[in-house]
Amino acid sequence: MNPALEQHRLMHGLNDAERTRLLDCAEPHHYAVGTPVLRQGQAANRLVLITAGRVEVRLSGAGARVTSLETLGPGETLGWSWYVPPGRWQFDSWALEATDTLEFEAGCLRSAMSQEHAITEAVLGELVHTLAHRLTAARLRLLDLYANPGS
């Protein structure tokens, strides 16, 4: 197994059999620069782990300006909408560079989670980590980190 993947939170606490079970759900993908990884509004069907490259998460809406929310890189996950109703991607994401991912199919993940408690813990551990990180980032941006203290 790729050493970076072995160390990843998604693998934490899993024995060999559970790792194999989880990785059975995964397939590698490659995205050329400037191509979409996830499209806002479409059915959310997978969890994406970035293994190389960089992905930009964007928010867009009819008539609204496209807003870049965050850039993500190797070791980071995106695509949690499969776990959260209504099960549609909430954001667009595009490959800013040639990007490699490992993508876990949602149905397979759900079934692995329902059978193996350790897999549920590992996947939800990664979800909580990601949410906490993004929440902190959003709060920091609200604080306007670079503002003049008096402004």
Partner 1 sequence: MQTQDCMAPRTARIRSVTNELASGEVFTWTLEHTDGSALAGNPGQFNMLYAFGCGEVPVSISGRTPNGQLQHSIRTVGRVTDAMRTLTAGTEIGVRGPFGTAWPLDEAAGRDLVVVAGGLGLAPVRPLLQLAAADRIHCRKTLVCYGTRTPADRLYPDDLRRCAAHPRIEVRTTVDRGDTGWRGEVGVVPRLLLQGGFDPDHSIAVVCGPEIMMQFSVDALRQVGVADRWIYLSMERSMKCAVGLCGRCQWREHFICKDGPVYRLDQIADLLGISEL
Ligand X SMILES: Cc1cc2nc3c(=O)[nH]c(=O)nc-3n(C[C@H](O)[C@H](O)[C@H](O)COP(=O)(O)OP(=O)(O)OC[C@H]3O[C@@H](n4cnc5c(N)ncnc54)[C@H](O)[C@@H]3O)c2cc1C
Sheet holding 77-78, edge to edge: 26-31, 99-105, 46-52, 77-78
Q: Which two tokens stand for residue 54?
A: 């960089």
Piece of the chain touching partner 1 by CB under 8 A; list 5-13, 17-25, 118-126, 135-143? 135-143
Q: Show the DSSP H helices in the chain as ranges.
A: 3-7, 16-23, 106-115, 117-143
Q: Which is nearer to partner 1, 101 or 106 (CB)?
A: 101
The footprint of partner 1 on residues 27-66 (CB under 8 A) is 54, 56, 66
Q: Does the protein bind partner 1 through residue 71 (CB under 8 A)?
A: yes
Chain residue whose CB lies nearest ligand X = 150
Q: Phi and psi (nearest 5°) for 149?
A: -55, -30
Q: Does the protein bind partner 1 through residue 68 (CB under 8 A)?
A: yes
Question: What is d(CA 80, CA 106) in angstroms, rounded to the nearest whole number?
Answer: 10
Q: Does the protein bind partner 1 through residue 116 (CB under 8 A)?
A: no
Question: What is d(CA 86, CA 89) in angstroms, rounded to the nearest whole number?
Answer: 9
Catalog residues that contact partner 1 under the rule CB under 8 A.
Answer: 54, 56, 66-71, 73, 96, 137, 140-141, 143-151
Catalog residues that contact ligand X under the rule CB under 6 A.
Answer: 148-150
